Amino acid sequence: MDSFSKLSMTISNPSLPLKQKLICICQTIKKEIKQSDRVSLWVFKEDYSEIFKIGGFDENNQYVLGDILKRSEYPQYFDHILTYETLTANKARTHPATTCFNSTYFKEKEVFSLLDFIYHYDFKPTGIICCEAVNSEIEWEPKCIEKLKRIANISSIFFSKNINDTKGGKEALLNITDSKMP
């Protein structure tokens, strides 16, 4: 069974816990987007003023969550991703939409390249799937972009059913992410 079929089956299984489904999405991204050192899933606050990391895997394959990015601090990024719904920044530290991260997020996380794609609920942006390359720049291959779009399309069904409630803010997000991961 290919990764996409397995992802579809896993996220549509009503007996699996929410966190197991989030892990499956992230693991599928890591497997299919081999150039990505880190993957993460983010959800927008309803007014698009913030995004919250609801899960992901770092370069050491450790599950991480909980970062918050504010539109007021990173307006170029928010404007770009909400307008174009995708961001391919091979040179993230010089890309016009991502230079706003240079002295904070990129420096702290050692990010050099980004590949981001929005997922939707009722045709409205709900969140972002993010791939990061750390320690050096990479050229995102067209097949990576297509695979990420496919994962986002498959995952949008899951997000529309399970994550939409997180748009209520940080408190609702914590209800999903507050217990330890399996």
Provide the residue count of the chain: 182
* pLDDT at residue 65 in the model: 83
User: How far apart are alpha carbons 89 and 136 in whole angstroms?
Assistant: 13
pLDDT band for 46, please (50, 70, 90 cuts).
confident
Instruction: Give φ, ψ of 43 to 5 degrees.
Output: -125, 140
Please give the domain boundaries of the chain with CATH numbers for all domains.
Answer: 3-177 (3.30.450.40)
- Asked if the model's pLDDT at residue 171 lies above 70, the reply is no
User: How far apart are alpha carbons 115 and 122 in whole angstroms?
Assistant: 23
CA distances from 80 to 70, 88, 95 (A): 14, 11, 11
CA dihedral 129, 178, 22, 50 (to 10 degrees): -20
* pLDDT at residue 92 in the model: 97
Could you read off the pLDDT of 96-131 as tens digits, one per residue?
999 999 999 899 999 999 999 998 877 889 889 999
Cβ(126)–Cβ(163) below 8 Å: yes
- Asked if the model's pLDDT at residue 16 lies above 60, the reply is yes
- Asked if the model's pLDDT at residue 181 lies above 50, the reply is no
User: How far apart are alpha carbons 134 and 35 in whole angstroms?
Assistant: 10
56 forms bridges with which residues in the sheet? 40, 64
- What is the DSSP pairing of strand 111-121 with strand 86-89? antiparallel
Inter-helix orientation angle 170-177/18-32, to 10°:
90
